[in-house]
Amino acid sequence: MFSRPGCAEDSRTRRSKFNFDTLDAPKLSTIEIPRLGRSGRDHVVQYLLRSIEKSTGPRKEITWNVRQMAVHHRYDFVTGKSFWISMKSNGVMKERTKQAVSEDPALRPTAGDGLPRSFAATLQIHLMHLDWCDESWQECITEFEKMIRKVLTKAKAASLNHSTDSRELPLMKALRRNTQLAESDVRGKKTGFSLKYWLGLKSGLVSCFRAGGQKRTAPPPILPVAAEKDMVPPANQADDFSKQLYSLMVLGTFSFEEVQHLHHLGEQLESFRVVLQLDRQTLRDVTEHYQDLASRNGFTAKMIKGCKGDVVSFTRRVDRIRKNLEIRLTQIESMMAWLQEGKTLFDGILQYRSVQVSHVFTESSHIQSEKMERIAHKTEQETISMHVVTCVTLAFLPGTFVAAFFQSGLVEINKASDGVRGSVVFHAGAFKLFSVICFPLMFITFALWFMLFKILARRAHRREMEESV
């Protein structure tokens, strides 16, 4: 009925109404078919209505979809016969029309009732179709308002202040553990020797074993820069970092799926707005058509007298439906503006979350660098201690080796000798036996160690090659 060859416009903006009549047409230009009850003096009205209907999805969820209904009506002004075609995707209007015709005698006019009665019946049937486009809008708008409010309330009510009860948050526990470890490292410095003491002791030992140390220029002392630096972090640093973590956890509850959901709701509201505008224009065209029809010369005085009140009532009711649609349109536009503000707020929240994530990672890297600095300071202390131990060991190592060699039995001390020449007796055979046993074992030990080192180095190299690939 609404075919438009060659039209590439969107289906939502296609022509929604069409009418014509032959009241003032010459008799020769009319088509009279008595067998079908057609006198040639008639008018045709056809329009396309759109409305919203609720349906249930495959998962039992409630969805709102735009439905269309096409209506074609022809009325003969001589015979009073009317012809109706109503096309819709379901049988709602079919059942509603049957029920109305069976319950209201005014919708079943007879030939004796006259043309005004049959014409008024067509107006009542028109109202049944026009009322359909305003039935479910209020319920749909209420449901959409709830869905939008559910998403936006979380964004507006989100508190980024630090919670007073954060004992159960894993990130807070990890933060406190790191803080406690840092404090224990700082307190551990007080229980050991100070860095200055070890530096002084090392300088003294080196000067004792250095020949002519008094004639040489003393090396510049090592400045304990790390020891003089206050290693205790600021008191509010951990608290600020915990606040950032808490804010990030709150921001983590906002997902991109919610933004997609808001975008989907915005698309649906835009389609609803177009539907309401088209229906409002269709109702205006139908009203203007019947008002113009009543003022035509071919509209007889009897029809005007008998149908004047019905036409006025029909016009008033259609205007009431149109005003209701205008109210719904205002509500839709208000929700669209509200939704746009919510989408802007969500975009800002997601951008702020990205900034906070970068800031938290920066703070975490800074804390890790401070921890590494403390570890390096502690390692420096331990290294100085090892240097002192090494110096003491090297000082006593020659004497220990000589004492062990003399006690092994290879060299025998002659206590009866008064001089140096006869005080020591060397056993060459025993030393030869010692060399035959000890030196091969030393060689075997070094060979095994070298082989093991090569195997481990080859495995490490192979692992590095695999990781690089």
Judge if 262 and 133 occupy the same domain: yes
Burial 152-181 (b: 16+ CB within 10 A, else e): beebeeeeeeeeeebeeeeebeebeebbee
Is residue 368 domain-resident?
no
Judge if 464 and 345 occupy the same domain: no
Is residue 388 domain-resident?
no
Judge if 287 and 350 occupy the same domain: yes
Strand partners, 56: 62
Is residue 1 domain-resident?
no
Residue type, 57: G
pLDDT tens, residue by residue, 159-169: 655 444 444 44
Is residue 195 domain-resident?
no
Torsion of CA 155, 157, 161, 167, to 10 degrees: -100
- Give the span between the Cα atoms of 277 and 338, in whole angstroms: 20
Judge if 135 and 18 occupy the same domain: yes
Residue 148, classed as helix, strand or coil, is helix
- Give the span between the Cα atoms of 319 and 299, in whole angstroms: 23
pLDDT tens, residue by residue, 301-333: 888 888 888 899 999 999 999 999 999 999 999
Is residue 162 domain-resident?
no
Supply the pTM of this predicted model: 0.60
Judge if 423 and 308 occupy the same domain: no
Listed in sequence order, the DSSP H helices in 408-427 are none
The confidence score (pLDDT) of residue 279 equals: 94
Residue type, 179: T
Mean pLDDT of the chain: 76
CB atoms within 10 A of CB 317: 17
Domain boundary among 355, 386, 418: 355
What is the band of 110 on the pLDDT scale with cuts at 50, 70, 90?
A: low
- Give the span between the Cα atoms of 17 and 49, in whole angstroms: 9
Judge if 22 and 138 occupy the same domain: yes
Domain boundary among 312, 335, 355: 355
The confidence score (pLDDT) of residue 251 equals: 59
Judge if 342 and 264 occupy the same domain: yes
- Give the span between the Cα atoms of 435 and 429, in whole angstroms: 10
Is residue 222 domain-resident?
no
Number of domains within the chain: 2
Judge if 132 and 265 occupy the same domain: yes
What residue numbers bound the domain in which 280 lies? Answer: 11-151+257-355
Domain boundary among 289, 320, 355: 355
Judge if 339 and 421 occupy the same domain: no
pLDDT tens, residue by residue, 29-72: 667 777 776 777 788 899 999 999 988 878 888 889 999 999 99
**% of the chain surpassing 90 pLDDT:** 26
Q: Which residue has the higher pLDDT, 112 or 465?
A: 465
pLDDT tens, residue by residue, 223-281: 343 333 444 445 455 556 555 555 556 556 667 787 788 888 999 999 999 999 999 99
For residues 79 and 42, is the Cβ–Cβ distance under 8 A? no
Q: Kindly state the DSSP code that residue 298 receives in the 8-state scheme.
A: T
For residues 333 and 214, is the Cβ–Cβ distance under 8 A? no
- Give the span between the Cα atoms of 287 and 21, in whole angstroms: 15
For residues 42 and 304, is the Cβ–Cβ distance under 8 A? no
Judge if 345 and 415 occupy the same domain: no
Is residue 102 domain-resident?
yes
Is residue 382 domain-resident?
no
